[in-house]
């Protein structure tokens, strides 16, 4: 179950601070949806309404979603991650695709 303080509510979604990953936020559909395909076409309009309610949201951030167990989806309720990005971190300047490729390449070293 997702836990966190509700920061804002729109017609179809709400925004919470993610208590499991400090500094990141979740946009969660108000109605149950297991995947993006289950959402109405206008759902992302609500995402745009909620983003300004994130405290101190920097100019650089990622919007991410996980679909399926192998992609990291551990809760069968669609949610969109908002992950602020800052300079000086090992992940700075890298998108999620690149981070995943690098992690997979690193984990395969010595396991061949």
Asked if residues 52 and 25 have their Cβ atoms less than 8 Å apart, the reply is no
CATH H-level, domain 6-86: superfamily = HIT-like (3.30.428.10)
* Rounded Cα distance, 24 and 7, in Å: 12
The C-alpha torsion from 12 through 8 and 92 to 108, rounded to 10°, is -50
Output the 3-class SS for 78-110: CCEEEEECCCCCCCCCCCHHHHHHHHHHHHHCC
Give just the sign of the alpha carbon dihedral 69, 72, 76, 77. Answer: negative
In tens, the pLDDT along 3-31 reads 678 999 999 999 999 887 888 999 999 99
Write down the domain spans for the chain: 6-86
In tens, the pLDDT along 41-70 reads 999 998 999 999 999 999 999 999 888 888
């Amino acid at each position: 179950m997702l836990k966190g303080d509700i920061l804002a509510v729109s017609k179809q979604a709400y925004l919470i601070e993610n208590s499991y990953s400090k500094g990141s936020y979740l946009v969660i559909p108000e109605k149950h949806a297991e995947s993006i395909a289950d959402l109405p076409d206008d759902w992302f309009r609500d995402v745009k309404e909620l983003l300004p309610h994130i405290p101190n949201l920097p100019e650089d951030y990622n919007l991410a979603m996980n679909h399926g167990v192998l992609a990291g989806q551990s809760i069968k309720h669609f949610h969109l991650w908002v992950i602020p990005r800052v300079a000086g971190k090992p992940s700075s300047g890298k998108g999620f695709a690149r981070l995943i490729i690098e992690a997979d390449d690193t984990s395969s070293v010595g396991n061949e």
